[in-house]
């Protein structure tokens, strides 16, 4: 009610009762406020409660509808089917072999994998070859690109021939930057470089495998496979350290791209057994080993959050 409509006549007793009631009401309100307020003093105004921060939105699609693969001999399925030959149908990334159940098969289904996946990896490829492979892969505008590279950067004729860590890092930065000029939101799944020293340790027990190694496979690690002298141990340790550094570079560069996911070192940590190594060279993955790589990739690609 507006003050202009108040009656002009009121008895003193009525006014007294009204004033008393108003005073009691004020006291009650003050007491109530004192019980519920968390302020240190009555004279301070209560601050509004902060609004909860919104949950970050994930930019990763765990079910991409098309896949392109780039990389080296492992992604080409080298020595998985016959000696010193590519076997892309056994590739962990895009292969069609039912025993392997590639990443493409697991994500797209066997009926769609052949039509919606492409493999541009090349046996012998190094990081410097990845930009060219990505150019060809980008023409298909895939929703996911898989990258596995670095083994050949460490597998040279000698330790001195290994790709420097700085060049390896710069090459991966260039590759991602180039991809983003044409496919700014295509997802990239990056596999860690396998532990080459572990592969040497597992495979050197096979006499046939060691004969194949002498044909020139990864001499920086596999040369004189049975030599356990100080110089040989130092050489293998240098290759191991270089692979560890390559993986750190992959992780660091990938972390700067919101659509890139590194495997958290899962492939490097995987302990390949004799059955999971090629029975042609005891160094590259067999079909069984390719299947294990596919499992690792599928688990990481479809995970709600990236591995750590």
Sequence spans of domains, the chain:
67-302
User: CB neighbours (10 Å) of residue 241?
Assistant: 13
User: CB neighbours (10 Å) of residue 167?
Assistant: 15
Q: What's the token pair of residue 72?
A: 């080296």
Q: What's the token pair of residue 285?
A: 């993955």
Q: How far apart are the first and last CA of the chain?
A: 66
- Provide the pLDDT for residue 126: 98
- Tell me the per-residue pLDDT of 234-293, one tens digit each, with 9 for 90 and over: 999 999 999 999 999 999 999 999 999 999 999 999 999 999 999 999 999 999 999 999
Q: 306 with 264: CB under 8 angstroms?
A: yes
142 contact partners, CB below 8 Å, separation of at least 6: 64, 66, 67, 68, 117, 118, 183, 186
- Could you tell me the CA-to-CA distances from 111 to 71, 82, 205, 214 in Å, in that order? 24, 26, 40, 41
- Provide the pLDDT for residue 10: 40
What is the DSSP code string of 51-86? Answer: PPPPPPPP---SS-S-EEEEESTTTTTTTSSSTT--
Q: What does the radius of gyration of the chain's CA atoms come to, in whole angstroms?
A: 33
The number of CA neighbours under 13 Å toward the Cβ of 104 is: 30
Sign of the dihedral defined by the CA atoms of residues 34, 39, 45, 50, in that order: negative
Query: If the chain, 308 residues long, is cut into consecutive pieces of 10 residues, what is the mean pLDDT of each piece?
Result: 39 41 37 36 42 55 97 98 95 97 97 96 98 98 98 98 98 98 98 97 92 93 97 98 98 97 98 94 97 98 92
User: Residue 287's closest CA among 91, 39, 122, 140?
Assistant: 91
How far is the C-alpha of 167 from the C-alpha of 70, rounded, in Å?
19
- Tell me the per-residue pLDDT of 197-216, one tens digit each, with 9 for 90 and over: 999 999 999 998 899 999 98
How far is the C-alpha of 124 from the C-alpha of 100, rounded, in Å?
22
What is the value of pTM for the model shown?
Answer: 0.81
- Provide the pLDDT for residue 58: 67
How far is the C-alpha of 200 from the C-alpha of 184, rounded, in Å?
39
CATH topology assigned to domain 67-302: Rossmann fold (3.40.50)
- Provide the pLDDT for residue 197: 97
How far is the C-alpha of 92 from the C-alpha of 294, rounded, in Å?
5
- Could you tell me the CA-to-CA distances from 199 to 150, 217, 237, 275 in Å, in that order? 15, 12, 13, 12
- Provide the pLDDT for residue 59: 87
């Amino acid at each position: 009610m507006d003050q202009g409509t108040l009656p002009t006549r009121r008895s003193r007793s009525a006014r007294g009762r009204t004033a008393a009631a108003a005073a009691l009401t004020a006291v009650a309100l003050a007491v109530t406020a004192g019980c519920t307020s968390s302020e240190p003093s009555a004279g301070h105004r209560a601050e509004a409660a902060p609004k909860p921060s919104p949950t970050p939105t994930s930019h990763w699609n765990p079910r991409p509808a098309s896949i392109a693969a780039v990389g080296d001999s492992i992604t080409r399925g080298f020595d998985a089917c016959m000696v010193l030959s590519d076997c892309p149908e056994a590739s962990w990334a895009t292969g069609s072999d039912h025993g392997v159940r590639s990443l493409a098969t697991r994500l797209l289904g066997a009926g769609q994998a052949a039509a919606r996946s492409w493999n541009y990896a090349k046996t012998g490829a190094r990081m410097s070859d990845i930009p060219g492979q990505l150019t060809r892969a980008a023409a298909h505008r895939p929703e996911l690109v898989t990258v596995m590279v670095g083994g050949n950067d460490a597998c040279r004729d000698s330790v001195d021939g290994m790709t420097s860590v700085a060049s390896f890092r710069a090459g991966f930065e260039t590759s991602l930057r180039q991809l983003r000029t044409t496919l700014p939101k295509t997802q990239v799944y990056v596999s860690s470089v396998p532990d080459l020293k572990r592969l040497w340790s597992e495979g050197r027990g096979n006499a046939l495998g060691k004969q194949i190694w002498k044909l020139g496979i990864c001499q920086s690690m596999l040369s004189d496979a049975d030599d356990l002298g100080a110089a040989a141990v130092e050489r293998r340790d240098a290759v191991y350290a270089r692979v560890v550094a390559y993986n750190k570079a992959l992780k660091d560069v990938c972390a700067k791209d919101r659509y890139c996911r590194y495997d958290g070192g899962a492939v490097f940590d995987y302990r390949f057994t004799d059955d999971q190594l090629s029975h042609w060279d005891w160094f590259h993955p067999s079909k069984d080993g390719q299947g294990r790589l596919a499992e690792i990739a599928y688990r990481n690609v479809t995970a709600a959050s990236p591995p750590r």
